[in-house]
Amino acid sequence: MSTRERLVVIVLFEQVDLLDITGPPEVFALLQREMDEPTGYRVVLAAETLDPVTTSAGVRVLPDITFTEVCARTIDTLVVPGAVEADERRRVRAVADPAVVEWVRELAGNARRVASVCVGAHILAAAGLLDGRRATTHWSTARQLAAEYPAVTVDPDPIFIRDRDVWTGAGLSACLDLTLALVADDFGEEAALGVARQLVVYLKRPSGQSQFSVPLEPVSTTRRIDEIRHYITRNVTGPLTVSALAEHMHVSERQLTRIFKQELGTTPAAYIELARVEVARNRLETTDDTLDRVATMSGLNSVDTLARAFRRTLRTTPTDYRNRFRTA
């Protein structure tokens, strides 16, 4: 009995993120080592032409097939990576080539399921494939995705989201988690677990787990909000109450709250907690500080408060976070 072919098509275009297109094929290839029978996966890279494509890393990649040729095929999984551009302040913005968007819309019609990697969600959204669905993307462009495509329910926190036959993944290395989830959907959790061991990665992070990135990047160029952000960073262990911040900025508490909502899309208290969690994350990654010490140095002051802040913002515990991300 012949094995059913599972054609996986990865979309290629200029300046695509390199890891987005190399991570998923590794997972599918490693699965074969875990299986006694052929998996049927056949991964091809598709582009408008067969000319080399230059990725964002400067590495050139050769397509296997053109979009026109693959349109005549039945696609099991369409994988759509992304690309970004950065301005002079090093702020990134997802880009979606209209021609690529049109091809993705057409290819999706022949696919059993569609999955975006990182900012590839912007291409799916531009193609109308995320309308009425819940989706995620890299945290740095989540606000852009929500603003440009109001018909999409954007959740910037999870590593990946499945909404019926459309899957969206978070930033870069989360492409492994997303692909492991696709493997689990096809062959079960044990098969995916075996691949995770081969990759030497955390054994399949659940979809609801946070991207582990606190979005403290400025989204505004106004001097006032930058001054507030820097003040919080310099005084993270101090009594950063809303009233104290308002007094420092010589504004009312209501006006301060309005500034945060307009410029950062959050409240002062929530931003202060994110800033403190960011400090705590760094100490957990790079020091042997006790949890008491981490809590004190980050301004969270107690292990209980530290744990609650981590559960609220990262959906994990400080100890689990350290076990996974300790670098020193």
**Which helix H or strand E contains 233, and what residues bound it?**
helix 223-234
What does the alpha-carbon distance between residue 177 and residue 68 come to, in Å, rounded to a whole number?
Answer: 30
Per DSSP, the residues of 89-155 read T--EEE---HHHHHHHHHHHTTEEEEEE-GGGHHHHHHTTTTTTSEE---GGGHHHHHHH-TTSEE-
Tell me, what amino acid is at 234?
A: R
- Which structure tokens are listed for 114? 């569609």
Q: 71 an active-site residue?
A: no
Backbone angles phi, psi at 179, to 5 degrees: -70, -35
What does the alpha-carbon distance between residue 292 and residue 300 come to, in Å, rounded to a whole number?
Answer: 10
What does the alpha-carbon distance between residue 175 and residue 323 come to, in Å, rounded to a whole number?
Answer: 21
Closest CA to 42 of 77, 6, 75, 11: 6
> What 8-state DSSP symbol labels residue 2?
P
The answer to whether 86 touches 21, Cβ cutoff 8 Å, is no
Catalytic residue among 9, 12, 84, 118: 118
**Under 8 Å CB-to-CB from 160, ≥6 apart: which residues?**
136, 167, 168, 169, 170, 174, 177, 178, 181, 207
3-state secondary structure of 171: coil
What does the alpha-carbon distance between residue 116 and residue 82 come to, in Å, rounded to a whole number?
Answer: 8
- Which structure tokens are listed for 321? 């976070």
Active-site residue numbers? 118
